[in-house]
Amino acid sequence: MTKPQLGFIGTGVMGTGIVKNLLKAGYPVVVFNRTKAHAQHVLDAGATWADSPKLVAAQSAITLSMVGFPQDVEQIYFGENGILAGAPANSVVVDMTTSTPRLAAAIAAAAAPHGVTALDAPVSGGDVGAKNGTLTIMIGGDAATAARLQPVFEAVGASIHRFGGPGAGQHAKMANQIMIAGTMTGLTEMLVYAKAAGLDESALLETVAGGSGANWSLSNYGPRILAGDTKPGFYIKHFVKDLGIALDEAAAMGLDLPATATARRLYQAMVDAGLGDLGTQALIRSYPSWEA
C-alpha cells in the first residue's frame, strides 16, 4: 500500500530525528526549514526540498511542523507563504511545536473552512526520543483524524495519547513541562548537594535511579552533567518559553504554581546571561559551588 506524501517544516534538533524516522518507515517527505543548510542531514537521508511552507503543504496529504516559538508557528501557518495558504482540501496539518492552546485552536478554526483538519501534537522525549523514535505524543483535535494518523505517529513515537479537541494536546504538554521543571531542578540540586557532601556523584545517580527518585531527567541528563556535556537535547530558551506558556495558562485558570515559577526564574537568568542555546542540563552551571 502506497504511503501518503508527508510534509515537514522545521529540521532542528528534534525535527531532524523525526523526519529521519518517517523516511525509515517508508514515507516520502518534503521539507522546508528557514535555513536550508540545517536541512541537509534529512535531504541526505532521502527527503526532498520545497522553497516555502506553502509549497510543502501544497504537495502533501499530511503536513507536520516543529518550529521554535509560537510566533514562528503563526508565521508558518498564517503567513502569505504559509501552510494554510497551500494546504489542499481534505489534507491534515499537524503542529508538533510546543505552543499555546489558544493558537492551536485558532489554527484548527482557520483550517476548517478550507476542508483542512488541524491537530496539535506536541511531543516529549528530547533529542534521544526523536532519534530513537520513542517520543511521547500528546494530541488535540478530531478523534477520527488522530486515529487515521496513528501509523504516522507510531513511526516517531512510543506513547501516543489524544486528550480532547483543539488545544488539548498543548495543555497536556504544559502539564508535562511542569513536571519536568521539578525533575530538572531536583536533579541539579541533588548533584550540587552530593558534591558538597563529598559523595561519588556517579554512584549516587545509579542509586537514586534504582529507587523512588528515578525519573527520565535523572537517567538521561545526569550522566551528561557529570561529563560536562551541555549540548542541547532541549534548548534552555525553549524551556523558558514553555514554562512561560504554562504559567500564563495556569494564571488564566486561577492557579498559582510557585515551584514552576521558581524553575522559570532560574532558567530565565541563564537566558539573560547569554546561555539560552545550551541544553536544559546546563542549569548546574548557575550554581557557583558546582563550577568551583
Say whether 173 is catalytic: yes
Which whole-number Å values give the CA distances from 243 to 73, 267, 282, in the listed order?
A: 17, 9, 17
Alpha carbon distance, N-terminus to C-terminus of the chain: 60
| CA 92 from centre of chain | 19
Options 20, 54, 131, 173, the catalytic residue: 173
C-alpha cell at 10: 522545521
CB 263 within 8 A of CB 240: no
How far does Cα 126 stand from its chain's mean position? Answer: 7
List of residues 6+ apart from 63 with CB closer than 8 A: 6, 7, 8, 9, 53, 56, 57, 83, 87, 91, 92, 93, 94
Using only the alpha carbons of the chain, give its radius of gyration: 20
**Residue 53: HSE in the Cβ half-sphere, 13 Å Cα cutoff:** 26
* Catalytic center residues: 173
